[in-house]
Chains A and B, each alone.
Chain A
Amino acid sequence: DGGITQSPKYLFRKEGQNVTLSCEQNLNHDAMYWYRQDPGQGLRLIYYSQIVNDFQKGDIAEGYSVSREKKESFPLTVTSAQKNPTAFYLCASSIAANSPLHFGNGTRLTVT
């Protein structure tokens, strides 16, 4: 089955620690994205990548970093500089920059 895998589903970290969220896709999609969802809010774009070894900041990139060394993988690191890291994080991909997004099932990160 083709799809997007985000792991783990739930993640707990202490304040001040960096944490990396995994996102892998086997859809052979060129573009990948990271969104954040907070309660009662829409999805906000953190970072996106249209090709390997290239990525752009989204609306709320501060406190986050990404890498795109392989087409299949787009890990997101939530750094200690992110002031409100507790949220639901969604990874997505699209076959082209103007095609609808395919989403993973998300990772819920809780930082205490």
Chain B
Amino acid sequence: DQQVKQNSPSLSVQEGRISILNCDYTNSMFDYFLWYKKYPAEGPTFLISISSIKDKNEDGRFTVFLNKSAKHLSLHIVPSQPGDSAVYFCAGLYGGSQGNLIFGKGTKLSVKP
């Protein structure tokens, strides 16, 4: 039973264009959503989060949108850069504890020069 689903295993985008990474969830108890970025042979790094009471959060080139009625969130990267090429994990948090953090399987983003 996957509570957090990233249905696209991979995404390829041209440098300078927008990258849109999607995430769906089934658990209505999630009160935060987080995105992590992971390069090969390294640990993930925290990128951006959004509270379940918000519908948008922006940090520089990264914006996360949340549609609670559709149980869907997306990460927009504008403009995309080759250094953004990595695996992006969506995660849902409930109960206020990282012990209740559920990760999706990740989407591998490739940004081509």
Chain A residues within 8 Å of B, Cβ to Cβ: 4, 6, 9, 31, 33, 40-45, 48, 50, 56, 58, 90, 92, 94, 97-106
State whether A33 touches B99 (Cβ < 8 A).
yes
* B70 at the binding interface (Cβ < 8 Å): no
Chain B count of residues within 8 A CB distance of the other chain: 24
Within the complex, what minimum Cβ distance (angstroms) separates A37 from chain B? Answer: 9
Q: Which residues of A contact B44 (CB under 8 A)?
A: 43, 90, 101, 103
State whether A43 touches B46 (Cβ < 8 A).
no
Residue-wise interface mask of B (87-113) relative to A, using a CB-CB cutoff of 8 A (1 in contact, 0 not): 001000100111101111110000000
* B41 at the binding interface (Cβ < 8 Å): yes
Within the complex, what minimum Cβ distance (angstroms) separates A54 from chain B? Answer: 12
Q: Which of A31, A50, A98, A105 contacts B41 (CB under 8 A)? A: A105
Q: Which residues of A contact B99 (CB under 8 A)?
A: 33, 45, 48, 50, 56, 58, 97
Within the complex, what minimum Cβ distance (angstroms) separates B63 from chain A? Answer: 17
Q: List 21 A-B contacts (CB under 8 A).
A: A4-B43, A31-B98, A33-B98, A42-B4, A42-B89, A42-B103, A42-B105, A48-B99, A50-B97, A50-B99, A92-B98, A97-B98, A98-B32, A98-B96, A98-B97, A100-B34, A100-B46, A102-B46, A103-B43, A103-B44, A106-B41
CB-CB nearest in chain A for B49: A100
